[in-house]
Amino acid sequence: MDIRKVKKLIELLEESGIAEIEIKEGEEAVRISRMPTGNAVIHAMPQIAAAAPAEAPAPAPVALESAAKPRANEHVITAPMVGTYYASPTPGGKPFVDIGDEIKVGQVLCIIEAMKMMNQIEADRAGRVTSIMARNGDPVEYGQPLFVIE
């Protein structure tokens, strides 16, 4: 992977509230995560051909264009607590919202599980979902961007 691409990813990570990002290009993969001190760390992971196909579902695409600072007409909904992000009410169920959905104030967007409690996260603004910045089952931290609403 080109070092310029890695530097650009680090800049995007620093400008946004994203805690971690992983990018795969062919046989190369890079994971960049923000340490508690605010520094970025890069872990390069060589891809090894597996003997059996992986059973895990493919990760949802990350919208890098929305990782930059939000535009004037955008509103970012952040995690109000530390926990585990769930996009749907049941495992394998239909997600609460998808990109492009029109939402209303008070509509449930996701669930964050914290200390064995399921907390419904509701929209604080009406609009259209333009980006979902967390994947089902991901750990989230306080203040981490979850959704971008236009």
Give the pLDDT score at 26.
75
Instruction: Give 6's pLDDT tier (boundaries 50, 70, 90).
Output: confident
Q: Which domain holds residue 25?
A: 1-48
Asked if residue 27 and residue 91 are part of one domain, the reply reads: no
Name which of 8-12, 48-52, 99-103 the model is least confident about: 48-52
Q: What gap in Å lies between CA 144 and CA 74, rounded to an integer?
A: 16
Structural domain ending residue among the three candidates 13, 30, 48:
48
Residue 85 has pLDDT above 80, yes or no: yes
Q: Is residue 54 part of a domain?
A: no
Q: Is residue 96 part of a domain?
A: yes
Give the pLDDT score at 17.
65
Q: How far from each other are the two terminal CA atoms of the chain, in whole angstroms? A: 33
Instruction: Give 96's pLDDT tier (boundaries 50, 70, 90).
Output: very high
Q: Is residue 22 part of a domain?
A: yes
Mind listing the pLDDT tens digit for each residue in 30-83?
Answer: 777 665 444 444 444 444 444 444 454 555 444 434 444 556 778 999 999 999
Residue of 105, 78, 114, 108 lying closest to 93 (CA atoms): 108
pTM of the model: 0.53
% of the chain at pLDDT higher than 70: 69
Give the pLDDT score at 67.
46
CA 20 to chain centre: 8
Query: Which domain CATH number covers 100?
Result: 2.40.50.100
Q: What gap in Å lies between CA 1 and CA 50, rounded to an integer?
A: 21
Query: 84 Cβ partners below 8 Å, 6+ apart?
Result: 112, 113, 114, 137, 138, 139, 140
What is the number of domains present in the chain? 2
Asked if residue 86 and residue 39 are part of one domain, the reply reads: no
